Amino acid sequence: MSPAPERRRRANLAEEVAAYLREEILSGRLRSDERIDQDGVAQRLGVSRLPVREALISLDREGLVQTIPRKGTYVSRVDRADILDHYLIFGQVAGLAAARAVVRMDDQDLEALQDLHDRMMDADSLAEQQRMNHEFHRIINRAAGSQRIVSMMQLLGRSLPMPYQDFPAEWLEEANRQHQDIVEAFRRRDTLAAQRAMEQHINASARHAIEVLERLDFFEDE
C-alpha cells in the first residue's frame, strides 16, 4: 500500500478510510482477491477499527470488496465488463441530468458553459484542464435541479476508475470535441441530443479508462 495522505481535519473517519481504500483498489495497489488487513489499515491511518469496518461495509455495497464471514474482507475482482457497465450506468444518469438541465439553463448560463469550454481547450496545464472539466460537468449537474440525480452521480463517481492524469493525450482532444457537441445541443434546446451527447461522452471515457488500466496491469487475465 502507498503511504496514507496527511489530513488536517477528520470530519468523517469512515468516509476518509473508504476513500483511501477505494484509491488503493482502483489504482491496483490492492489486488483482486487480496485480503484487507483491517488492523494494518487502522494503524496506517491512525484510526480505530470501527471506521475501517464501516468503510468496508460501504465498499462492499459498491462492489469493490467482498466480506466472507469468519474469513475476512477481500478485494473483489473487477474486469473490463465491470468497468464498461459502470460507465454505462454513469452515462445514463449523466445523460438524464443533461436533459433536465437543457430546459433549466438560461442564456447567461449557456454563455458561461461555452466560455468554460473555450478556456479548457486553450489551457496548457493538465491540472487546469482537469479542474475545468470537473466544473463543466458540475454546472450541468447542478442545473438539472435534482438532488437525487446529483447524489446518484456522486455515488457512482466515487467508484469510477478515471485517473485523468494518466489518460492519453488524445482523450483530451476527444473530450473537447464531445463537450462542444454537448454545448451545441444545449444551445438548440434539444433535450434528446443533449442526453445522447452526454451519454456518448461518458461511454467514450470507459474505453480510455480501460486502456489506462491495462497499462497499469490492473486486470488479472486468465
Average pLDDT over residues 18-23: 91
| Sign of the alpha-carbon torsion through 201, 207, 211, 212 | positive
Residue range 141-181, pLDDT digits in tens: 999 999 999 899 888 887 776 555 556 666 777 888 999 99
Q: How far apart are CA 34 and CA 28, in angstroms?
A: 11
Task: For the full predicted model, state whether its pTM sits above 0.85.
Answer: no
Burial class (CB in 10 A: 0-12, 13-18, 19+), 134: exposed
Class of domain 13-75: mainly alpha
Residue range 26-84, pLDDT digits in tens: 877 898 899 999 999 999 999 999 999 999 999 998 888 999 998 999 999 888 998 89
Q: How far apart are CA 143 and CA 79, in angstroms?
A: 34
Residue 8 reports pLDDT greater than 80: no
Q: How far apart are CA 163 and CA 156, in angstroms?
A: 15
How high is the pLDDT of residue 6? 46
Q: Are 159 and 86 in contact, with CB atoms under 8 Å apart?
A: yes
**Closest alpha carbon to 115 in 197, 180, 174:** 180
Class of domain 80-215: mainly alpha
Instruction: Return the beta strands (E) in the chain as ranges.
Output: 65-68, 72-75
- All structural domains of the chain with their residue ranges: 13-75, 80-215
Residue range 173-200, pLDDT digits in tens: 788 899 999 999 999 999 999 999 999 9
